[in-house]
Amino acid sequence: MTVTDGKQGTPLQLFGCCSVRTPKQTANELSVLCDAKVSVIILSGTGKLHEYTSDSTSTKEIIDIYQRALRTDIWSSQYEKMQEHLKKLKEKNRSLRMQISRRMGECLNGLDFKELYELEQEMQDAVNNIRERKFKRAKQNINYLTDGIKDDPDYGLVEGPGGHYDSIAGAYPNGIPGILALGLQLNQPNYS
């Protein structure tokens, strides 16, 4: 490969036929012999990135020079896409902030009756979901605690109808399920 010297127009031999040079070595020779700013970016078939830039410059500086020489902006389309995406994210953020403030009881003045009713329904559904999860967790905890002691007569539990446990003293008059009568023995080490 030969390149002409920009100053005198004489051809420069970059590498001979006997030597094997990498693109980085060739770019380095171009940079030194031609006193040029060189940047080479190589993407291999395996997805690896190889980059060489002259010592006196950076890749960004080379791209800026390239844009000025061609009088074009290679980033404008990407910038427009990013601006459009940012606008959508800001709108979504504003909408979510408005929903949060309405659920906290703020900014309700601009709502009509239908919107207020829908907000009330959403709040009621949320309360019902929380209550359901709370009861489910309490039931799991009660089942976990009773599984370890259900067959121990020292605790005063007797299996009742339907697999529920009641106190030996009998069922509760108001039928409260899930309340267990537990006793503490005098011979336990933690008794005081």
Q: Per-residue pLDDT for 169 more than 50?
A: no
Predicted confidence at residue 91, as pLDDT, reads: 96
Among residues 12, 67, 1, 15, the alpha carbon closest in space to that of 36 is found at 12
Number of H helices, E strands in the chain: 4, 6
Residue 54 has what DSSP assignment? -
Q: Identify which has the larger pLDDT, 96 or 25.
A: 96
Pairing of strands 2-4, 11-13: antiparallel
Asked if the model's pLDDT at residue 16 lies above 60, the reply is: no
Residues 49-58: tens digit of each pLDDT: 888 888 888 8
Comparing 61-70, 135-144, 146-155, 157-166, which segment has the lowest mean pLDDT? Answer: 157-166
Q: What is the pLDDT of residue 28?
A: 82
Question: Are 102 and 123 spatial neighbours (Cβ–Cβ below 8 Å)?
Answer: no
pLDDT at 63: 86
DSSP three-state, residue 46:
coil
89-123 pLDDT, tens digit each = 999 999 999 888 888 888 788 888 898 898 889 99
Strand partners of residue 42: 50
pLDDT value of residue 97: 92
Taking the model in full, what pTM does it have? 0.38
DSSP one-letter string for 111-171: --HHHHHHHHHHHHHHHHHHHHHHHHHHHHHHHHHHHHHTT-GGGTEEE-GGG-EEETTB-
Summarised one tens digit per residue, pLDDT across range 118-150 is: 888 999 999 999 999 999 999 888 888 777 655
Whether pLDDT at 72 is above 80: yes
Supply the pLDDT for residue 29: 85
